Amino acid sequence: MYQAQLRPVVPFTIRGAIWYQGEDDGRNKDYAADLARLIASWRLADIALVKTYGRAERPLFGPMYESHEIKGDKVLVKFKYAYGGLKTVNAGAPNWFEISDGSQENNRLKYVKAQARIAAADVVEVSAPEVKEPKFVRFSWHTLARHNLVNSGGLPAVPFRTDQQDVKGWR
């Protein structure tokens, strides 16, 4: 398979990729994990360029949840892999953050849309007027989420939720 399909294109480089999801993927229960591994492998190419081929240092990963601290009615979310600092692609406030006080609705945590701001190079402050005692934060946790949070290398932040930190495929 390598000789027939990959070897002929080895000399070529690419600037991007277009991904067609296909209609049949909805039946693959492992699709989310498979896609995460595919994206990671495209990113692991940067790792090879830096670590193996000695190319210039560059950000290798998008920002990932590291920890959080509750300060009154705000939650400070710390990210690893911020590199030169967090930013947004549109210079606006970070979007797709939600916050919960731990109350439930239909046997699920109730989250509300949160306001977020970059508070430090690797920290986002999250709050919502209606949540006085926050317990949990989630980020980009929706099928249609198109968030704007990236690191200095332009790599997108990874979705997370603070109440489930051992989600397969993300750690």
Share of the chain above pLDDT 90, in %: 54
- Which tokens go with 46? 């940067």
What is the arithmetic mean of pLDDT over 22-42?
73
Residue 2 reports pLDDT greater than 80: no
Residue 169 reports pLDDT greater than 70: no
CA–CA gap between residue 29 and residue 121 (Å, rounded): 36
How many structural domains is the chain composed of?
A: 2
Same structural domain for residues 148 and 93?
yes
CATH number for position 112? 2.60.40
CA–CA gap between residue 29 and residue 35 (Å, rounded): 11
Residue 21 lies in a domain: yes
CA–CA gap between residue 46 and residue 18 (Å, rounded): 18
- For 58: left if phi > 0, alpha if psi spans -120 to 50, otherwise beta; the answer is beta
Residue 48 reports pLDDT greater than 80: no
Q: Identify which of 47, 45, 39, 70 has the alpha carbon closest to the alpha carbon of residue 163.
A: 70
Q: Identify which of 134, 137, 109, 110 has the alpha carbon closest to the alpha carbon of residue 123.
A: 137
| pLDDT at position 21 | 65
Residue 168 lies in a domain: no
In which element (H, E) is residue 88 found?
Answer: strand 87-88
Most confident of 10-19, 20-29, 35-44, 114-123: 114-123
CA–CA gap between residue 70 and residue 64 (Å, rounded): 18
Q: Identify which of 16, 34, 36 has the alpha carbon closest to the alpha carbon of residue 140.
A: 36
Residue 122 reports pLDDT greater than 60: yes
What is the arithmetic mean of pLDDT over 140-166?
89
Selected residue with higher pLDDT from 101 and 48: 101
What is the arithmetic mean of pLDDT over 116-133?
98
Using 50, 70 and 90 to split pLDDT, how confident is the model at 46? Answer: confident
pTM: 0.71
Same structural domain for residues 128 and 154?
yes
Q: pLDDT digit string (tens) for 62-78? A: 999 999 999 999 999 99
Same structural domain for residues 18 and 99?
no
Residue 10 lies in a domain: yes
Annotate 118-143 with DSSP letters as a single string.
EEETTEEEEE-TT-SS--EEEES-ST
Residues 6+ apart with CB under 8 A from 159: 138, 139, 140, 141, 145, 147, 170
Instruction: Give the residue ranges of DSSP H helices in the chain.
Output: 31-47
Same structural domain for residues 157 and 109?
yes
Residue 171 reports pLDDT greater than 60: no
Residue 68's domain spans which residues?
A: 64-161
Residue 104 lies in a domain: yes
